[in-house]
Chains A and B, each alone.
Chain A
Amino acid sequence: MSADDEKPISRLAKLLGGFVAARAAMRAARSRGTPPPPAPESEVDPRKRVVPSNRRAEGVVAVLLVIAAAFACAFTVIYIVLSGNTQLLGVAMGGSLLLLAAACIVAGKFVVPQETHVEDRGVLLDEEQTEEVVEMIEAGGEGISRRAILIGAGGAAGAALLTAAATPLASLGPTLASLHQTPWARGVRLVDDQGRPYLAGEIQIGSFYTALPEGKDPESFGAGLLVVRLPAEFVHLPAARRTWAPSGILAYSKICPHAGCAISLYRYPTYGPTSQEPAFTCPCHYSTFLPGEGGRLIFGPAGRALPQLPLMIDSSGYLRAAAGFHEDIGPSWWGVHRAQS
């Protein structure tokens, strides 16, 4: 290569290209001393080496690199001037990276020497060496007579230490008793998510309401309730639950007993002859429960009915829990208390 009166950019590209080529040539020259072993029993020799002298490709690479630099500069400018417009920043950074990628790929395909090389895999399992290694390791135990005792004692020490190291994991979790607790108990008033107590009179047929326990932590799993009012024709509660739905108002845990999502779909018949009975549906896996029949499951994967909370209406007309839940709310587990049915 000779210095001529080209633009500095293409000179830079040439410099880089020349440098790469020089190194490759040196490597090739050095490796010529020990030629790679011929591919055994190969009818074709795929080895080849082509040194392209492609000035146009070099120019393309240079142009790509310059535009990539411009995009990268644009990123900095956009960051400062437009205080980080996400779209423009993405285009600038992504564009710069893609242009650099294009430059690399063009250079890799058309500028540098193209070579197909054959390399021998060699063996992985060397029988002699493997045996030697096994012998060397076993030689370390030469002269030990009470091998079994030592191995046994060492194993015991190791196992005990591992157990000791794992024990503190238990301090991460509390006891299981908390899984049975909910904030609901006799007399707890139902409030909405702003803390406003619900009057029985505001519960409309055809809508559903989310209720929380007054003065308790709304974030606890058992806090959320679904409240609906059903006309008498849809209410078919078991005998033991006759008193749980004053004025046709029913409350259920909002947490699906399948996988713990909050149930947030309520279907109410808008036209009797074609519509189905009122039902709650969980939006995660579509377990569907009948509020009129004590939360019985009619579709979906939940393994239990939706837990019902007995309600009462106090003298001022507010909704209150008549008791706590009679079973565990939330997803099932080994020790879950299921409803008696």
Chain B
Amino acid sequence: MNVVERYVHRRFERVSRTAEQRVGMAAGIRWALRYVFPDHWSFLLGEIALYSFMVLVGTGIFLTLYYIPSDSEVIYHGSYPLLQGAQMSEAYRSVLNLSLSVPAGLLFRQVHHWAADVFIASIVLHLVRVFFTGAYRKPRDLNYFVGLTMLMLAILEGFAGYSLVDDLLSGMGLAIAYSVALSIPFIGGQLATLIWGGPFPGNSTFWPRLEIVHVLLIPAALAVLITIHLVMIMRQHHSQFPGPGRRERNVVGTPMWPAYALRSVGLMLAVAGVLFLLGGLVQINPIWQWGPYHPYLSENGAQPDWYIGWLIGALRLMPNWELVIAGRTVIPNPFWGGAAFPLFVFGVLFAWPAVERRITRDARRHDLLDRPRDRPVRTAIGAAFLSWVVIVFAVGSTDRIFYRLGVAYTTQIHVWRVGIWVLPILIFFITRSACRSLQRSGSHPLRAWQGSVVRRRPDGRLEVLTDSPDTVVPPATEPPLGTAPGRE
């Protein structure tokens, strides 16, 4: 050690002692430093969501300092020539000024918008990973529910965020959200006028309400749920894939300090770095091009942010059924696509762990993950359900497909009204048989070729030189922890 190192070392020890004398956390810190993270790329999806959330909070604070939640009508006299003299809300003007006049304002707004898209995308991919590996089984079912709740909140949060801008596109989105609120049987009228402070587009109190929901209520709820999510994970430890030395009772991987911490901080910085590159170089939601919202205006070919796409698709695909009994509109049409559909999807996801427990009669604790192929029926059901939702999502872009490929909009809708029921069934059977065949062959679907390198010998016989390095030996099955069903 040289002088500087010795000095730093002494300082560090003194600071540690000072802290210890007051809070005494060495045992806890020691536990945390040795905490083991199993290594698998798919475990990083949740981390990407966490780090996107951090970027969202950071950039969001900057945006909050400029945003004015007001629907007062003003005349624009800012720096953007094409909107000179246009009548618009103060909210929209404040975001225009933030984007076009505040240095780095547009950068932060675009990073924020990109981060929201990445945030929800990584949550969805994380959910897909958790489903197909069976990570939602006991003891992680509770945490799975927390995650699903966060996904719902994240979608709401994203929608509230881009609605705040009050440009033409977001105003149309709010009109649809209003119709969905209005469409809830019996209470829709009261609920929608309650939220909007009157009939659409609502009174002036709506904007502060929407802002406080977006910048305080939902983010605070998300922060609390993220904390619960992580604390629960740390208590149970991460799940892991089967492998050499990996058991139900242990967890094998890289300890937090130092290698994993460095790699995870690296991932955090990489997420932030990619988001800043996107925010700087790839334009997103150029609100000055959409113009201000007025209820009597709309834009053709409008598309929402990707995570609302499934709802647009459901609204478009739904036939024009509206249940009317004795002059009362019991179920207005937007209810089917805008409320019933997402509630059903989340309902199925929430119910799944209990359903699976009922079917498999397996209530034991599971800390080893399944490879998707080893549970062909679950994987097939998951793939079919996922494809059902993805088709609805894809229907949200039927107008763009018409525009690009010329397939008539009406034809597409008629085809998908049948396809939505046929395709998932096909996918169920294809996936199930693919899983079974992979199980038999023991090969990996994504890794290189499978097979052997052979050479013909002078006597005509074939000689095996090497086996494929990717031939995976099926893991030895091991009973999970706990013996009596229903107990731990």
Contacts and interface: CB of A to CB of B under 8 A. Distances in A.
A-B interaction: yes
B320 A297 contact: yes
Contacts, number: 360
B324 A113 contact: no
Given A18-B5, A98-B269, A115-B254, A283 B259 contact: no
Task: Report, as a range, how many residues of chain B touch the other chain.
Answer: 35 or more
Interface stretch (A116-124, A132-140, A313-321): A116-124
Contacts of B35: 119
A75 to B, nearest CB: 9
A105 interface: yes
B277 interface: yes
Given A89-B104, A113-B259, A333-B332, A259 B175 contact: yes
A24 B257 contact: yes
Interface string A1-15: 111000000000001
Nearest to A111: B262
Interface string A78-109: 01000110111111011111111111110111
Contacts of A303: 320-322, 329, 332-333
Contacts of A181: 199
Interface string A252-293: 001100111111110000000000000000111111000000
Contact of B328 (A43, A46, A109, A335): A335
B267 interface: yes
Contact of A331 (B2, B178, B255, B259): B178
Contacts of B398: 286
A283 B302 contact: yes
Task: Report, as a range, how many residues of chain A touch the other chain.
Answer: 35 or more
B185 A31 contact: no
Given A24-B258, A42-B245, A91 B280 contact: yes
Contact of A104 (B262, B301, B312, B365): B262
Given A98-B273, A286-B316, A262 B5 contact: no
Nearest to B99: A86
Most B-side CB within 10 Å, residue of A22, A99, A170, A172: A172
A118 B259 CA distance: 15
Interface stretch (B152-160, B214-222, B289-297, B370-378): B289-297
B272 interface: yes
B399 interface: yes
Interface in B170-212: 172, 175-176, 178-180, 182-183, 185-190, 192-201, 205, 209
Interface of A: 1-3, 15, 18-20, 22-24, 27, 30-31, 39-46, 79, 83-84, 86-91, 93-105, 107-109, 112-121, 123-125, 169-170, 172-176, 178-179, 181, 193, 210, 212, 218-221, 223-224, 254-255, 258-265, 282-287, 297, 299-304, 330-336, 338
Given A258-B179, A262-B296, 14 more contacts: A1-B1, A18-B5, A22-B9, A27-B30, A43-B245, A87-B280, A89-B280, A108-B262, A116-B252, A218-B294, A259-B179, A301-B320, A301-B333, A334-B330
Interface of B: 1-5, 8-9, 30, 33-36, 73, 102-107, 110-111, 139, 172, 175-176, 178-180, 182-183, 185-190, 192-201, 205, 209, 235-237, 243-255, 257-263, 265-270, 272-281, 294-302, 312, 315-316, 318-322, 324, 327-330, 332-334, 337-338, 365, 367, 398-399, 409-410, 413, 481, 487-488
